[in-house]
Structure 1
Amino acid sequence: MSRYAETLDWLFAQLPVFQRTGGQNYKIDLSKTWAFMEVLGHPEKDFPSIHIGGTNGKGSTSHMVASCLQEAGYRVGLYTSPHLVDYRERIRLNGLPCSEEFVVDFVETWRTHLQRLELSFFEMSVGMAFVYFRDMHVDVAVVEVGMGGRLDSTNVLHPLVAAVTNIDLDHQAFLGNTRAAIAGEKAGIFKPGVPAIVGERHPETDAVFRSHAAQVGASLQFAEDLAVTLTPTDLLGSYQAKNQRLARAILAAQQVFPVSEDELARGLLHVAEQTGLQGRWQVVSQEPFTVLDTAHNVHGLRETMAQFTSMGKGPMHIVFGMVGDKDASAALELLPKDAKYYFCAPAIPRALPVEALTILGEALGLTSCAYPNVHAAWGAAQSAATSADRIYIGGSTFVVADALKPKSAS
């Protein structure tokens, strides 16, 4: 086993990881993160940043912003989560993941403090990213919120712009049971004197954002209200239009790193190429048409299913799995009744057992078979499909992650 693999095993084994096990590792304050920043010499103060949260689209928006800044010639750090295939996807410089050596050296250098402070996996990762950005002398870093905002470990930043994509019901056990409550948590990234931008309006959340912005002394804009001319992007999901509108508003709101319209257009046209983004309406085959998408809640699946069902006329095959803390019944109700389903479970402890998913699907009249893993389900869909058919793979970020990994790894 390589030193890098051993280091990752240690990182994942230290404390429960929300990505894998769920909410028992959700922190109630930022005290440990602040303590870690002090130990590290406060790297969060050593680079300008752009902070992006929200229910859906924050990853895509972050990659769009980073790509445009790269196109303008800046040295751009990018921190996102979760990763799909390799942990190093979380920490990038001009689209390239940090080195395996950096990950190993960081953990070896700070291991005593990581253990003494009893940091979570996410707290460790945030500290690692911020040290990397400092050490690599980035001009600016684009940082995606992990979950929520107010109590998220990334919220030690004082950014150039704080943005929230949209609000819908997700992670209610930790963020609240209403859109207004969730908006309050996500508005926690607003800072005094820092432009705040919200991508999408909603009657339940607009007043919450206005109130929080006023309380902290932040100017507030809704990107939905801005007159913006959208340009082509290599991110092909129909939902990316909203993300592009927000990305443009974010870059316009900060004055430190100018980006011309030509640079914006080129950056938006080459997002995946320049930042390594995967899993967002990622077309992996044309015959049969096969697309992977990380949409994993009602808000996201409503958009992806509308696009998928509108493309072509061939029979539909849907490879689908979820994690146990999502509203699987509500998600399944959005899926087309005339598709054939290949239910599976992603290879993480949080996964919804495929037997439970099958029972829920049967109750809704969905025609399905159950499979032991994502690749087995995908293989069955490929075997059943003709070149004119359509295959969708999704339901969870971790289903897409398993699909992108080699069969032996997943």
Structure 2
Amino acid sequence: AILSEAGYKVGLYTSPHLIDFRERIRVNGEMIDQQFVVDFVQNHREAFEPIMPSFFELTMEMAFVYFQHMQVDVAIIETGLGGRLDSTNIILPNLSIITNIGLDHTQYLGNTLPKIAAEKAGIIKPNTPVVIGEVENEKVRKIFIEKAATENAPIIFAEEQMDNFTSKITSDGWILNNDSYQNLKNELGGWVQNKNARTVLTAIHELIKLGYKIPNHAVYNGFANVTKLTGLMGRWQTLQQKPRVVCDTGHNEHGVKYIVQQLSMENYDRLHIVFGMANDKDATTILSMMPKNAVYYFTQASVDRALDVDTLAESASKHELKGNNYSTVQLALEAAKENANENDFIFIGGSSFIVADVLALLHNSEQH
């Protein structure tokens, strides 16, 4: 968002998508052209079929070809899984960013934070600066420092940057202050965005040192209009007021920690939670973190990876989480809205797939 406001043509590759596959590949916030997707598959089918690339690899290749076709100035590439062995790691970036380390995809990346950190550290490249957003413990810090030293890569810890950094949460997001920016409005709500903002500001500082022209107004406009400029959804996104309905895609221990923290700071009469999980996540840990003073609407998303709602509810009861089961996200949300008064708060989450189903419902209702 900031780079496009600075006048750059910016390609953005992210995953997963929530409603439309084309969300994964954008240029200045605009999704990849539908015809380009069709043509790309048809034109490359013969080359791809013998090597059988994964869905993610195919999508990544499509993004790179599209960004070249659109002649972008900058491409921001999000890794899919880990870093070291991720297909996106083929690139040689100007700057690498590791936001945080959480216990997720442990069957592939390892079951401890240092093991996962070692995989993520794989994106640290020779003589290329790397910004580290959060450091969970000293073992993780040591892994990053050692890898950066091996690659002769300057390493910058965002938490150690920006003296006099202060932040205040409001109903419209965050107000940030430091020595360079006063009253910087970040439209993205949710506690995790406070950490992310510091990481972004550190990254922008490093890009300026590398020669990027990023005026202050681009930083202010970028932070204030993230959703409009990037199309990103599901980040503590308010869907309606009275009652306030918010969704968030946070689905691992790290993400849920911030969601629970944020929920504890909100003002409401009663808390209603529409909740479902993927079947490969650590349900026991996540459920143990969830607030007990809420009415739950357990459900499952419309994908094969969804955790069965009865299994979820049974596990939840062991953690004193009480509520009813609903076979679809639509039924769960309808029940929550029916039971809530205008001073209540409805939270939707537990899985990106749950949020995707809700956003698809809203999208379809807006179309009709």
Q: CA deviation at 1:96?
A: 0.3
Q: Give the letter aligned to residue 232 of structure 1.
A: K
Q: 2:145 aligns with which of 176, 199, 210?
A: 210
Q: Give the letter aligned to residue 158 of structure 2.
A: A
Aligned to 1:61: none
Count of paired positions: 344
Aligned to 1:234: 187
Q: 1:184 aligns with which of 114, 118, 122?
A: 118
**Which segment drifts farther, 300-309 or 289-298?**
300-309
Q: Is the 8 A contact 1:289 1:387 kept in 2?
A: yes
Using the alignment, how far apart are the partners of 2:222 and 2:319 within structure 1? 43
Pair 311,215 (structure 1): closer, same or farther in 2 beyond 3 Å: same
The superposition leaves residues 270-301 of structure 1 with CA deviations (integer Å, 9 ceiling, x where unpaired) of 11111111100000111101100001011111
Using the alignment, how far apart are the partners of 1:88 and 1:366 within structure 2? 37
Q: Which runs of 5+ in 1 are unaligned?
A: 1-66
Aligned to 2:309: 354
Q: CA deviation at 1:407?
A: 7.6
Q: CA deviation at 1:256?
A: 3.4
Using the alignment, how far apart are the partners of 2:363 and 2:22 within structure 1? 20
**Which segment drifts farther, 186-195 or 228-237?**
228-237
Q: CA deviation at 1:108?
A: 0.4
Q: Give the letter aligned to residue 332 of structure 1.
A: L
Q: 2:236 aligns with which of 274, 281, 289?
A: 281
Q: 1:330 aligns with which of 266, 281, 285?
A: 285
Aligned to 1:252: 205
Using the alignment, how far apart are the partners of 1:98 and 1:309 within structure 2? 39
Using the alignment, how far apart are the partners of 1:286 and 1:309 within structure 2? 18
Q: 1:146 aligns with which of 70, 80, 90?
A: 80
Q: 1:381 aligns with which of 336, 347, 350?
A: 336
Q: CA deviation at 1:320?
A: 0.3
Q: Give the letter aligned to residue 349 of structure 2.
A: G
Using the alignment, how far apart are the partners of 1:334 and 1:290 within structure 2? 21
Aligned to 1:292: 247
Does residue 271 of structure 2 align to residue 316 of structure 1? yes
Moved beyond 4 Å, runs of 4+:
407-410
Using the alignment, how far apart are the partners of 2:330 and 2:149 within structure 1? 50
Aligned-pair identity in percent equals 44
Pair 153,409 (structure 1): closer, same or farther in 2 beyond 3 Å: farther
Q: Is the 8 A contact 1:197 1:223 kept in 2?
A: yes
Aligned to 1:306: 261
Q: Give the letter aligned to residue 248 of structure 1.
A: L
Q: Is the 8 A contact 1:375 1:407 kept in 2?
A: no
The superposition leaves residues 215-251 of structure 1 with CA deviations (integer Å, 9 ceiling, x where unpaired) of 1121111011001526211111121111111111112
Using the alignment, how far apart are the partners of 1:407 and 1:168 within structure 2? 30
The DSSP-based 3-state class of the residue aligned with 1:84 is coil
TM-score calculated relative to the size of structure 1: 0.82
The superposition leaves residues 52-94 of structure 1 with CA deviations (integer Å, 9 ceiling, x where unpaired) of xxxxxxxxxxxxxxx0000001100000000000000000000
Q: Is the 8 A contact 1:361 1:368 kept in 2?
A: no
Q: Is the 8 A contact 1:341 1:368 kept in 2?
A: yes
RCO higher in structure (CA 8 A, sep ≥6):
1
Q: CA deviation at 1:321?
A: 0.4
Q: Which runs of 5+ in 2 are unaligned?
A: 166-177
Q: Is the 8 A contact 2:82 2:120 kept in 1?
A: yes
Q: CA deviation at 1:196?
A: 0.9
Aligned to 2:50: 116
**Which segment drifts farther, 282-291 or 224-233?**
224-233
Q: Is the 8 A contact 2:242 2:342 kept in 1?
A: yes
Does residue 63 of structure 2 align to residue 129 of structure 1? yes
The DSSP-based 3-state class of the residue aligned with 1:303 is helix
Q: Is the 8 A contact 1:223 1:245 kept in 2?
A: yes
The superposition leaves residues 300-339 of structure 1 with CA deviations (integer Å, 9 ceiling, x where unpaired) of 1111111113211311100000001111111111111111
Q: CA deviation at 1:394?
A: 0.2
Q: Is the 8 A contact 2:191 2:261 kept in 1?
A: no
Q: Give the letter aligned to residue 223 of structure 1.
A: A
